[in-house]
Amino acid sequence: MSRIVRIAAAQSGPVPRSESRSETLDRLILMMRQAAQQGADLVAFTECALTPFFSHWWIDDQQELDSYFENAVPGPSTQILFDEAKRLEIGFHLGYAELADTEEGVRHFNSSILVDATGSVIGRFRKVHLPGHSEHRPDNPFQNLEKRYFDVGDLGFPTWRGFGGIVGMCICNDRRWSETYRVLALGGAELIILGYNTPDHIPEHPELDRLVDFQHQLCMQAGAYQNGCWVVAIGKAGVEEGVSQIGLTSIIAPSGEIVAQSTTLEDELVIFDCDLDATRVYKDAMFNFKANRTPEYYTAITEQKDARLP
């Protein structure tokens, strides 16, 4: 048996501050059309795909900061993506900065949305693991201000039925945490989609620079294998506003193997036929959660005070 979903991971090259939202959308729409021409069921865009990754510089003025956020998706600027997807009968995944009116007041989230081939929203996700710092570090070559500009996502890690299977999302730094994959897999995820903006240099830890590409792949390959999931990871690549970001947009099979990967640091489609039934051999055997997990023992150990670290 096979359940094939043809997925086009749409890597974005740098988005300069001088580029208008509609120019950036034109680039996404071009990739959406190319994906549809190649028979893709789903085109997946990156984290904060509509703008440059503004967490990389200090912004004092709240109005200026809010100009990078969307009040609603679909909304005035993004409706065109929904219309085009519906016309082409292709689903899509989009990362964006979300300004949300919640019961607790206005919140800023780093969000993503999953849309089916009729233009209907399947699901929404808000990034949980926010990296970086909240204070200005003027001595650094660039900032990483996600802790200042975003609130922690309040939707957990839900999964949805879509594209013939069960789909979950996470965003960038979430991919480095094993809990992300396990919680999604406990929710039945067969396919996990994530966008990222990952610099190739960590100002505070230059000794880790040589490991950036390796660790980017390591966490996703392990997450895919240990949970019997496809992982589709879409990057923002190249030098954007002085920050050099890795490409390596990747499609990873439930075996943990990288089956397709980008080769440039520009707008580029990475396409693969993902068979959702290829998850079965892992979910039904080695990582059969029902047959093999022992949550009651995990809890017993962590509840022993003596076993806890200070």
Which residues of this protein are in contact with ligand CDV, per CB under 6 A? Answer: 47, 131-132, 144, 172-173, 176, 196-198
Give whichever of 24 and 173 is closer to ligand CDV, judged by the CB atom.
173
Looking only at the bridges linking them, the beta strands covering 258-261 and 250-252 are: antiparallel
Is 64 marked active-site?
Answer: no
Q: At closest approach, how far in Å is the CB of 63 from ligand CDV?
A: 23
Task: For 3-14, give one letter per residue: b (16+ CB within 10 A) or e.
Answer: eebbbbbbbbbb
Give whichever of 88 and 183 is closer to ligand CDV, judged by the CB atom.
183
Q: At closest approach, how far in Å is the CB of 204 from ligand CDV?
A: 10
The Cα 214–Cα 219 span in angstroms is: 9
Catalytic residue among 70, 84, 170, 172: 172
Q: At closest approach, how far in Å is the CB of 216 from ligand CDV?
A: 7
Is 147 marked active-site?
Answer: no
The Cα 31–Cα 256 span in angstroms is: 27
Is 47 marked active-site?
Answer: yes
The Cα 175–Cα 123 span in angstroms is: 18
Q: List the beta bridge partners of residue 169.
A: 193
Give whichever of 132 and 188 is closer to ligand CDV, judged by the CB atom.
132
Cβ atoms of 114 and 121 within 8 Å: the answer is: yes
Q: At closest approach, how far in Å is the CB of 129 from ligand CDV?
A: 7
Of 176, 172, 272, the closest CA to residue 218 belongs to 176
Burial (CB < 10 A; 0-12, 13-18, 19+), residue 259, is middle
Give whichever of 131 and 188 is closer to ligand CDV, judged by the CB atom.
131
Active-site residues, by number, are 47, 127, 172
